[in-house]
Amino acid sequence: MFLMFRTMQRMPLSRLLSGSSVVPGSQTFTSGSGNFSVPPFNTLTVEVWGPGGSGEGVSGASFVAGNVGVAASTVSGSGLTTQTANPGGGASAGGTASTGGAAGTATGGNSQNATGTAGTGGGTVINSGFGTGGGASNGGGNVAAPAASSSSGTNGNPGSAPGGGGSGISILSGGTNPEFGGGAGGGGYSKSVYLAGTVALGALLAWAVGAGAASAGTTNASGAGNNGQVKFTWS
In a domain, 57, yes or no: no
Q: If pLDDT is split at 50, 70 and 90, which confidence band does 234 have?
A: very high
Residue 111 backbone dihedrals phi, psi, to 5 degrees? -115, -40
Share of the chain above pLDDT 70, in %: 91
Owning domain of residue 146: 69-223
189-212 confidence digits (pLDDT tens): 999 999 999 999 999 999 999 999
Q: Could you tell me which residues come within 8 angstroms of residue 49 by beta carbon, excluding any fewer than 6 positions away? A: 73, 85, 136, 138, 139, 162, 163, 187, 188, 189, 228, 229, 230
In a domain, 25, yes or no: no
Residue 178 has pLDDT above 60, yes or no: yes
- Are 205 and 35 a contacting pair, CB within 8 Å? yes
Cis geometry, peptide bond prior to residue 162 (ω within 30 degrees of 0): yes
In a domain, 228, yes or no: no
What order of strands is seen across the sheet that includes strand 25-29? 25-29, 229-234, 43-49, 189-195, 112-114
19-65 confidence digits (pLDDT tens): 469 999 999 999 999 999 999 999 999 999 999 999 999 999 899 99
CA distance 223 to 66: 9
Residue 138 backbone dihedrals phi, psi, to 5 degrees? 60, 20
Q: Which of 3-12, 131-140, 161-170, 214-223 has the lowest mean pLDDT?
A: 3-12
Three-state SS letters, 172-184: EECCCEEEECCCC
CA distance 140 to 128: 21
The number of folded domains in the chain is 1
Q: If pLDDT is split at 50, 70 and 90, which confidence band does 5 have?
A: very low
CA distance 171 to 137: 29
